[in-house]
Amino acid sequence: MLPKTINVAPLILRPYRLADVDAVLAFASDPEWTRYLPVPQPYTHSDAEKFIAAQILLDEETHQAWAITQNDKSIGGVNIRFDFHNQIGVIGYSIARPYWGRGFITQVAGALIDTAFETYPDLNRIRAMADARNHASLRVMEKLGMVREGRLRQNRYVRGEFIDEVWCGLLRSEWATRR
């Protein structure tokens, strides 16, 4: 299992807590933050409570999630879900809008990728996907060394419209070469 806490100075990744509900509500109720994410709009206090409860109840053997915190305040989140049979990890990430463009997500996701490959020697691939219109997220994936592997047309139905997704992946061999 991956560590419960990961230090990615100046940020700390730690398990979600019930006390994070108001912080999650604050950034998740921003329509600009939700623009490319399959989350309810408007985002309510109840949505934040359900999200936090779901994160706390994850089976940590196969799916771990962390609050991205600064001074112990949740400013975003990162997670990884494992398919150990196929030796694959799938990451997801988000951060509050005031922290966009500062390199934090690249730093956090990079630390998670490193930790996952170091912890699980049989893990062969880590992938991520994003709404094809979310150029910032796709740029993060490129900075992480991920390769664009495909565009799935109308792959998801979100808030009344079909969206294309871009899938990117990083093989262990590529990760090892970059290190």
What's the whole-number mean pLDDT along residues 44-72?
Answer: 97
Number of H helices, E strands in the chain: 6, 8
Per the prediction, the chain carries an average pLDDT of 97
- Give me the residues paired with residue 67 across strands: 14, 77
Residue 159 lies in a domain: yes
Q: What angle do CA 152, 159, 53 make, to 5 degrees?
A: 95
CATH code of the domain containing 95 = 3.40.630.30
Residue 136 lies in a domain: yes
Q: Kindly indicate the confidence band of residue 62, based on its pLDDT and cuts at 50, 70 and 90.
A: very high
Residue 1 lies in a domain: no
pTM of the predicted protein model = 0.95
- Side-chain-side CA neighbours of residue 115 (13 Å): 20
Q: How far apart are CA 3 and CA 29, in angstroms?
A: 29
For the chain, give percent helix, strand, coil, nearest 5. Answer: 35, 35, 30
Percent of the chain whose pLDDT exceeds 70: 100
User: Is the confidence at residue 179, as pLDDT, over 90?
Assistant: no
User: Is the confidence at residue 60, as pLDDT, over 90?
Assistant: yes
Token pair 């700390």 is found at 12
How many domains does the chain divide into?
1
User: Is the confidence at residue 59, as pLDDT, over 90?
Assistant: yes
- Side-chain-side CA neighbours of residue 150 (13 Å): 5
Query: What digits encode the pLDDT tens for the residues 105-156?
Result: 999 999 999 999 999 999 999 999 999 999 999 999 999 999 999 999 999 9
Residue 149 lies in a domain: yes
Query: What digits encode the pLDDT tens for the residues 63-99?
Result: 999 999 999 999 999 999 999 999 999 999 999 999 9
End-to-end CA distance of the chain: 22
Task: Return the amino acid letter for 167.
Answer: W
User: Is the confidence at residue 101, as pLDDT, over 90?
Assistant: yes
Residue 51 lies in a domain: yes
The boundaries of the domain holding residue 62 are: 6-178
Percent of the chain whose pLDDT exceeds 90: 99
